[in-house]
């Protein structure tokens, strides 16, 4: 899965003192200017320190021709929803997502760039 992501997307990695502390994964921009932010993951001790914001800013800056970025966030993930909301993402859809047999309430958010 990671090899496929590597070949078909943009992966950013954050390191501190030589240790990987997080990564972000953006899809390549589609013909209509859309990109999917598949993930921003950070070790908990590096959250709320600007790393996620840097990932988002850097990803958008290198996504040539991007007009809109999408993200799916678990509805109960208040930390994630608050982060993306503070960055200008808005919720435009809610749905049930089947994640390996577990149904997750999910919100789809979008950011116009």
Neighbours of 53 (CB within 10 A): 14
State yes or no: pLDDT of 42 exceeds 70. Answer: yes
Domain covering 2-112, topology: Aminopeptidase (3.40.630)
Share of the chain above pLDDT 70, in %: 96
| Cβ pair 78, 46 in contact under 8 A | no
Q: CA-CA distance, 66 to 35, in Å (whole number)?
A: 7
Lookup result for tokens 């993200």: 71
| Cβ pair 71, 93 in contact under 8 A | no
In this prediction the pTM is 0.88
pLDDT tens digits for range 6-38? 677 899 999 999 999 999 999 999 999 999 999
Structural domain boundaries in the chain: 2-112
Structure tokens of 95? 């749905």
Per-residue pLDDT, 2: 65
């Amino acid at each position: 899965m990671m090899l496929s992501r590597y070949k078909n997307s943009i992966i950013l990695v954050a390191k501190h003192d030589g240790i990987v502390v997080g990564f972000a994964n953006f899809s390549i921009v589609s013909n209509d200017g859309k990109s999917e932010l598949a993930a921003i993951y950070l070790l908990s001790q590096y959250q709320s320190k600007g790393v996620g914001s840097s990932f988002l800013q850097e990803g958008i800056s290198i996504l040539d021709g991007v007009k809109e970025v999408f993200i799916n966030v678990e509805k109960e993930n208040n930390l994630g929803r608050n982060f993306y909301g503070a960055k200008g993402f808005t919720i435009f859809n809610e749905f049930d997502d089947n994640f390996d047999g577990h149904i997750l309430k999910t919100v789809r958010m979008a950011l116009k760039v």
